[in-house]
Structure 1
Amino acid sequence: MTDLILHHYPTSPFSEKVRIAFGLKKLGWKSVTIPNIMPKPDLMPLTGGYRKTPVMQIGADIYCDTQLIMLEIEKHAPTPPLLPPGKEGEARALAMWIDRNIFWAAVGIVMGAIGDKLPEAFHKDRSEFSGRSFEPAKLKAAAPIAAQQTYAQLVLAEEMLGDGRAYLLGAAPSLADCALYNPVWFIKERLGGGKAVPPLDRLPRLTAWSERMKAIGSGNPTEMSAADALAVAKAAKPAACSVDAADPSGLKAGQKISITPDDTGKVPVTGTLVGLTPDHISISRNDERVGDIVVHFPRAGFIVTPA
């Protein structure tokens, strides 16, 4: 099997969502540490401008956004499943809710507490990335509202665990658990040194759940340099993919398109359409540092326009 290469940095919460999936499946993987702010000169040749973290690479195929990264991990290592049989839709729907709602509320808590300790370059980068102010005073002022919203939504997860189940969808962890561990881990690690802090201290079942998740670990990572990852891409050929000619979008194979996130990091990536399914969309690109590559995105949460 071709190596799974994760481009990430240690404090990235969405990277933790992927790392815990590696742990669940007991996978070996290559770890490329990238900067936590722009510029990211050794990542851009792979993504064509997509700047979010993490990015997963398999040879000359580049996977953007954890929605799609997790599905690709599932393809490469189906057991134990991230998508429990019969509950695939539930797992993915819960993950989308968590990523789009709970995560940003949790960010508000963390940034309100530590924003004034972060460098000015970080504030500038995240303001440009998110389209909202990351000025320390504004972050601190908004933190109480973020705490209320985080608590109100985490209570729902607490209630899901109320019947004694060990994980959100039953006896085994799933994609939904990996997604929820992302913001819970972020709050605990950045503010509590691994311990439960408000509002987690009011949620005993969720706190116990988070300890079970933490025990899963991160699989077996091996460090890889960015230069070596670029060399892997250049030496490889992208996997074959195809375009559904009956897709309701009307998009056609060979069409030049741009793909842009609809929430944050709104940098368009342009290429030739080579893959289209209900789950994802793929474009071919060429960069002198990596040659021919294919960049893959999820359909949900991304805007596709003619280039």
Structure 2
Amino acid sequence: MSSFSHVPESPIYYGYNGSPFVSKLEAVLKLKNIPARRVDVPLTPPRVDILALGIPYRRVPVLAIGKDVYIDTSLISEALEKAYPSSPILATDVGLQKAVTKFYDHFLFNLGFDILPWNKTPKSLQEDRKKFIGRPDIDFDEVATRKELAHSKLASHLAILEEHFSDGRVWYFSTPSPTYTDAGIYAVLDWIRSFRATRPVFDSTVFPKTVAWFGRLDTLFAAKPPLGKVKGPDAAKEIFSSTFTADLSQIGFDEVEAKRLGLKKGAKVVISPEDSGRDVVTPGVLIALSKQEAVIETEQKGQHVIPSLRVHFPRLGYSIREVPNGENAKL
């Protein structure tokens, strides 16, 4: 039984240039040949086009498959694999792919944070990122002093990749074509590679097989047609007028997990990331829960009532809590 129905030919996602995780999603979309369209949102909040969906959420990308909205590239990629099964990228070693990609997402993104040329960024961006990571006391001048250490760590990561590719494999898991893991590692390293100071670290004489792997993906992605664009108001209108596409019976409601979390089906909850962006919570009614996914339905109240959407979150990396009676959760 398929877990999706009435899937749109061209899903809609929200993001901005320069985000490694938006780039990761775009790599996945291109590998799967999905002609998705992007709503461009600003580098810093408020991101009114996402808020227009009735979804307060701090990070990007966000992707809608009909009226089912997905958060975080890990869950987004799984949803795309099920909704658009042609050109599979998670067909083999699924658990291992998730684990390896999560490892690189975490360590390489944090490494990139230390390598970013913060001295060339506006103060407004620095202040926003302090809120984003929950570190109001961070000193970006001190971060700049760690750049050479970060370059050394980057070289260590590249050395591990070089060792991995030393057996002559073409793609990370010796598959006939690139996988989710290839897309994930490539996107975050390509973001780091875009910083001028790091380019000497990507030395083809030191890491020939890794640089060759990069080159193969560079060529592959350059040959793909560009993804489309759509304006925020048009995207919202299309999403609200569409149908729910995910079969929630395939997710179910795990009563054991609910008991562990102190939750019940139909409870009013808020969900937020556990690391960066946790200052913004997403409220809704809990309608599905498994060990890997939680789904809430938005409740729209007030002067301008808009249709409810279902918002899907991965369990790992996100916290869920019930809203006590009387607490203003803006449901």
Q: TM-score, normalised by structure 1?
A: 0.91
Please say if residues 91 and 175 of structure 1, whose CA atoms lie closer than 8 Å, have aligned partners that are also in contact: yes
Matched, 1:57 2:60: no
1:127-138 matched pairs, under 5 angstroms: 127-132=130-135, 135-138=139-142
Name the SS of the counterpart of 2:87 in structure 1.
Answer: coil
Which residue does 2:181 correspond to in 1? Answer: 176
Question: Given residue 179 of structure 2, which amino acid in structure 1 is its aligned partner?
Answer: S
Please say if residues 257 and 291 of structure 2, whose CA atoms lie closer than 8 Å, have aligned partners that are also in contact: no
Q: Residues 51 and 115 from structure 1, CA distance in 2 versus in 1: closer, same or farther, beyond 3 angstroms? A: same
RMSD: 2.0
Runs (5+) with no aligned partner, structure 2: 1-6, 324-331
CA distance in 1 between partners of 2:78 and 2:127 (Å): 33
Q: Residues 147 and 231 from structure 1, CA distance in 2 versus in 1: closer, same or farther, beyond 3 angstroms? A: same
Please say if residues 94 and 176 of structure 1, whose CA atoms lie closer than 8 Å, have aligned partners that are also in contact: yes
Cα distance, 1:7 vs structure 2: 0.5
CA distance in 2 between partners of 1:10 and 1:263 (Å): 22
Name the SS of the counterpart of 2:90 in structure 1.
Answer: coil
Q: Sequence identity of aligned pairs in percent?
A: 27
Q: Residues 47 and 219 from structure 1, CA distance in 2 versus in 1: closer, same or farther, beyond 3 angstroms? A: farther
CA distance in 2 between partners of 1:75 and 1:67 (Å): 13
Matched, 1:291 2:294: no
Q: Residues 281 and 219 from structure 1, CA distance in 2 versus in 1: closer, same or farther, beyond 3 angstroms? A: farther
Please say if residues 284 and 294 of structure 1, whose CA atoms lie closer than 8 Å, have aligned partners that are also in contact: yes
Q: Which moved more, 1:181-190 or 1:64-73?
A: 181-190
Q: Which moved more, 1:141-150 or 1:161-170?
A: 141-150
Please say if residues 257 and 290 of structure 2, whose CA atoms lie closer than 8 Å, have aligned partners that are also in contact: no
Which residue does 2:91 correspond to in 1? Answer: 84
Runs (5+) with no aligned partner, structure 1: none
Which residue does 1:107 correspond to in 2? Answer: 113
Name the SS of the counterpart of 1:161 in structure 2.
Answer: helix
CA distance in 1 between partners of 2:86 and 2:13 (Å): 20
Question: Given residue 269 of structure 1, which amino acid in structure 2 is its aligned partner?
Answer: T
Matched, 1:150 2:154: yes
1:32-51 matched pairs, under 5 angstroms: 32-46=39-53, 48-51=55-58
Q: Which moved more, 1:93-102 or 1:216-225?
A: 216-225
CA distance in 2 between partners of 1:184 and 1:137 (Å): 24
CA distance in 2 between partners of 1:211 and 1:286 (Å): 47
CA distance in 1 between partners of 2:225 and 2:99 (Å): 25
Please say if residues 254 and 290 of structure 2, whose CA atoms lie closer than 8 Å, have aligned partners that are also in contact: no
Cα distance, 1:89 vs structure 2: 1.0
Matched, 1:208 2:224: no
CA distance in 2 between partners of 1:104 and 1:70 (Å): 21
Which residue does 2:322 correspond to in 1? Answer: 306
Q: Residues 30 and 145 from structure 1, CA distance in 2 versus in 1: closer, same or farther, beyond 3 angstroms? A: same
Q: TM-score, normalised by structure 2?
A: 0.84
- The C-alpha deviation readout for 1:91-133, integer Å capped at 9, x for no partner, is 1110110111122112322x1xx21111111111111101236
Which residue does 1:118 correspond to in 2? Answer: 121
Name the SS of the counterpart of 1:43 in structure 2.
Answer: helix
Which residue does 2:192 correspond to in 1? Answer: 187
CA distance in 1 between partners of 2:299 and 2:212 (Å): 47
Name the SS of the counterpart of 1:237 in structure 2.
Answer: coil
Cα distance, 1:294 vs structure 2: 0.9
Q: Which moved more, 1:136-145 or 1:220-229?
A: 136-145
Q: Which moved more, 1:31-40 or 1:43-52?
A: 43-52
- The C-alpha deviation readout for 1:146-183, integer Å capped at 9, x for no partner, is 22222222322221111000111113211111110122
CA distance in 2 between partners of 1:16 and 1:68 (Å): 15
Matched, 1:238 2:275: no
CA distance in 1 between partners of 2:49 and 2:232 (Å): 6
CA distance in 2 between partners of 1:42 and 1:289 (Å): 16
CA distance in 1 between partners of 2:161 and 2:213 (Å): 10
Name the SS of the counterpart of 1:84 in structure 2.
Answer: coil
CA distance in 2 between partners of 1:214 and 1:48 (Å): 34
Cα distance, 1:186 vs structure 2: 0.5
Which residue does 2:32 correspond to in 1? Answer: 25
